[in-house]
Structures are given as structure tokens and as C-alpha cells.
């Protein structure tokens, strides 16, 4: 007969149950712990957070099947024959469709008749550690001769990954006056990765958990404020953040719309007041993929 001690191994049975996501105050049973243990091992075998994402629900028994839902994948365990089966996994692609200029800068240092804006995008996902976040100069350079009502079409993929649990998309815009877009990109990347390091200390787990993403955003804004005090020829326009998760990717995704011939799902305002007003158009697609086995 299997005992709880056999299942748990050395150490506290309740500590073992807690590691598997069980309520430490609830009654524990051999069958439930065995099921939770098999699901945990399956999650690790199928790639863990990198593939199946983070756990969204407790282990539950429904119609003779134990299961747990992750950010975009589900693992189920038939209680009678303890056969683990991977259900579905997905890969998402995040795209900057383009940027719409509502109003050009009124405070251009150079004072030209039109603006040369550029967008730097950085995506943070829950598995990143310091140094992994990469800032992207969308389009590779600043746009030229942009006035109110103009559209900058990009269609550039800025992130792809399996089963995103939660993504934070940081969008920062500048007006090019001194040709410093490469330096601006480095500033953003430094600020983001420093923010990830701080969040990793506050939430001491491998990588970044969902609860840390808000802290990253707050630290990023503070870091950018310090960096903007340094001498810089390009004019800072503004910054904004988009948060995308299970609801947006899978449960209730925004409908696909079209603007200026480009597909998009949401718009993110970057309002710099006199420095310029813009909207960033984001689009994403999701495709089903096989759950890889290790």
C-alpha cells in the first residue's frame, strides 16, 4: 500500500504538497498527491514555464480526470490508469503593425517642418532573468518627414514564444535630432534589465513571476526618468506599457481590425504632449504546436 511518506520522499509531507501547488491547510490524500506529483513531473518533462507557461489553476478532479491549466496548455491525468497526456500548446507572435501620428512635436530642438520619430519596443515575459530582455529599434531607424495624420507602417515581429503566461510590452518613443537612436535603444535595454534584476530579488524565484511584472514596470519608469536627465540630443516623446496575458491571447482575444491596410488588435497611446502624440498599433497571432517531449 502506498503511503504519503513514500510519495513525498524526505522532508515534510505538507511542504511537499505545497511545492506541488496544493493548499497546505487542506486535507491531503495519497491519490491527490500522486496525481499532483505526476502532473508536476509532466510539466517539467514537457518544458515547464518555457513551453507550457505558468500554472493558472490548482490540480482539480473532474469526471475521473485530474488536470491543471497553465497559461496556454493543459495537462490531464486519467485517475484510473494514471496516463498523462499533453493536450494543447501554442506559439504566439507579437507584431508592431505600425505607428499613427496624431500630432507632431511642437518643441523640436532642431525646429524642422516635420518630425523624425522612432519607436523602441521591449517585451518582458515571466521567464526572463537580467540580460535576456532585448530592446528593439522598430524599423531599424527613425521615420522621416512625419506630420499629423501620417502612418508609419512596420509589420515587424518583436516577440515570439510558446504559451505566454503574461507579457509586458514597453513602448518608448523619441524624436531624432542628433542621430542617437542606437544610444537610446541601449538606454531602454539597460533600464529594463536593471528593473528585472530588482524584481528578481523581490520575488526570489527562477526568472520573473507574473506578480513581479508590475514592479518591473514601476522600476522601468523610475530608471528611465534618471536616464533622461543625462545630456541627450534626441527629444524624448513618451512611454507607455501594454500588458497581454491569457485573456488577450486565448480566452477573449480582441478582434482583428484593419487600419491603413495593416491588421491590428489593440492601440497603445504614447502621448508626449508638445513633444508629439502617437498611437502604436499592436497585432498578434497564435498557432497550435505539438507539445515537445524532452
Q: In CATH, what number is assigned to the domain containing residue 111?
A: 2.60.40.150
Q: Confirm whether 147 is domain-assigned.
A: yes
Q: Tell me what pLDDT residue 253 has.
A: 92
Task: Please give the Cα distance from 35 to 39 (Å, whole number).
Answer: 6
Q: Confirm whether 168 is domain-assigned.
A: yes
| 14, 97, 106, 235 from 285: Cα distances, Å | 41, 12, 37, 33
My answer on whether 74 and 201 are in the same domain is no
**Is the model's pTM score more than 0.75?**
no
Structural element, H or E, at residue 25? none
Query: Predicted confidence band at 135 (pLDDT cuts at 50, 70, 90)?
Result: very high
Last residue of some domain: 87, 108, 128?
87
Q: Confirm whether 294 is domain-assigned.
A: no
Q: Tell me what pLDDT residue 98 has.
A: 98
My answer on whether 153 and 282 are in the same domain is yes
Q: Taking a C-beta distance cutoff of 8 angstroms, is the pair 177, 233 a contact? A: yes
**What mean pLDDT do residues 43-59 have?**
64
What DSSP character marks residue 49?
G
Most confident of the ranges 90-104, 152-166, 243-257: 90-104
Q: Tell me what pLDDT residue 204 has.
A: 36
Q: Tell me what pLDDT residue 53 has.
A: 64
pLDDT top residue among 1 and 133: 133
> Beta-carbon neighbour count of residue 4 at 10 Å?
15
Identify how many contiguous H helices and E strands the chain contains and give both numbers: 6, 14
My answer on whether 191 and 281 are in the same domain is yes
Last residue of some domain: 87, 107, 135?
87
Residue 179 structural domain: 90-289
What is the radius of gyration, based on Cα positions, of the chain? 23
Beta bridge partners of 264: 257
Q: Tell me what pLDDT residue 231 has.
A: 72
Last residue of some domain: 72, 87, 102?
87
My answer on whether 259 and 181 are in the same domain is yes
pLDDT top residue among 149 and 75: 149
Q: Tell me what pLDDT residue 85 has.
A: 43
pLDDT top residue among 130 and 51: 130
Q: Say if residue 273's pLDDT is above 60.
A: yes
Task: Please give the Cα distance from 64 to 80 (Å, whole number).
Answer: 7
Q: Say if residue 174's pLDDT is above 60.
A: yes
Query: Predicted confidence band at 249 (pLDDT cuts at 50, 70, 90)?
Result: confident
Q: Tell me what pLDDT residue 126 has.
A: 62
- Quick: pLDDT tens for 57-101: 777 666 566 677 766 566 666 554 444 444 567 788 999 999 999
Q: Tell me what pLDDT residue 207 has.
A: 38
Q: Tell me what pLDDT residue 264 has.
A: 98
How many domains would you assign to the chain? 2
Q: Say if residue 24's pLDDT is above 80.
A: no
pLDDT top residue among 33 and 142: 142
Strand order from edge to edge, sheet including 277-289: 151-162, 89-103, 277-289, 266-271
My answer on whether 240 and 193 are in the same domain is yes
Q: Taking a C-beta distance cutoff of 8 angstroms, is the pair 112, 81 a contact? A: no
My answer on whether 29 and 149 are in the same domain is no
| 8, 69, 70, 196, 277 from 60: Cα distances, Å | 19, 9, 13, 33, 48
**What mean pLDDT do residues 276-283 have?**
97
Q: Confirm whether 125 is domain-assigned.
A: yes
My answer on whether 166 and 243 are in the same domain is yes
Q: Tell me what pLDDT residue 81 has.
A: 42
pLDDT top residue among 111 and 129: 129
What's the chain's average pLDDT?
76
Q: Confirm whether 60 is domain-assigned.
A: yes
Q: Tell me what pLDDT residue 65 has.
A: 64
My answer on whether 123 and 240 are in the same domain is yes
pLDDT top residue among 100 and 184: 100
pLDDT top residue among 127 and 97: 97
Amino acid at each position: 500500500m502506498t503511503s504519503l511518506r513514500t510519495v513525498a520522499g524526505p522532508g515534510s509531507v505538507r511542504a511537499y504538497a505545497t511545492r506541488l501547488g496544493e493548499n497546505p491547510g487542506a486535507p491531503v490524500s495519497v491519490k491527490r498527491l500522486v496525481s499532483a506529483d505526476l502532473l508536476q513531473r509532466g510539466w517539467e518533462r514537457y518544458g515547464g514555464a518555457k513551453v507550457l507557461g505558468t500554472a493558472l489553476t490548482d490540480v482539480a478532479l473532474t469526471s475521473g480526470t485530474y488536470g491543471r491549466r497553465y497559461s496556454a496548455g493543459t495537462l490531464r491525468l486519467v485517475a484510473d490508469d494514471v496516463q498523462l497526456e499533453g493536450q494543447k500548446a501554442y506559439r504566439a507572435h507579437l507584431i508592431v503593425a505600425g505607428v499613427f501620428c496624431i500630432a507632431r512635436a511642437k518643441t523640436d530642438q532642431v525646429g524642422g517642418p516635420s518630425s523624425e520619430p522612432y519607436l523602441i519596443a521591449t517585451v518582458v515575459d515571466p521567464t526572463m532573468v537580467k540580460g535576456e530582455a532585448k530592446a528593439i529599434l522598430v524599423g531599424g531607424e527613425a521615420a522621416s518627414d512625419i506630420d499629423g495624420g501620417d502612418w508609419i507602417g512596420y509589420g515587424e515581429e518583436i516577440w515570439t514564444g510558446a504559451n505566454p503566461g503574461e507579457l509586458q510590452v514597453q513602448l518608448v518613443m523619441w524624436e531624432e535630432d542628433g542621430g542617437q537612436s542606437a544610444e537610446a535603444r541601449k538606454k531602454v535595454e539597460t533600464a529594463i534589465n536593471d528593473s528585472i534584476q530588482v524584481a528578481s530579488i523581490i520575488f526570489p524565484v527562477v526568472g520573473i513571476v507574473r506578480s513581479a511584472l508590475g514592479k518591473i514596470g514601476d522600476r522601468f519608469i523610475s530608471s528611465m526618468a534618471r536616464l533622461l536627465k543625462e545630456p541627450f540630443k534626441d527629444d524624448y516623446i513618451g512611454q507607455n506599457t501594454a500588458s497581454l496575458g491569457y485573456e488577450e491571447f486565448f480566452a477573449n482575444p480582441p478582434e482583428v481590425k484593419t487600419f491603413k491596410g495593416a491588421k491590428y488588435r489593440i492601440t497603445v497611446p504614447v502621448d508626449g504632449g508638445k513633444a508629439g502624440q502617437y498611437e502604436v498599433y499592436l497585432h498578434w497571432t497564435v498557432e497550435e504546436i505539438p507539445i515537445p517531449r524532452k
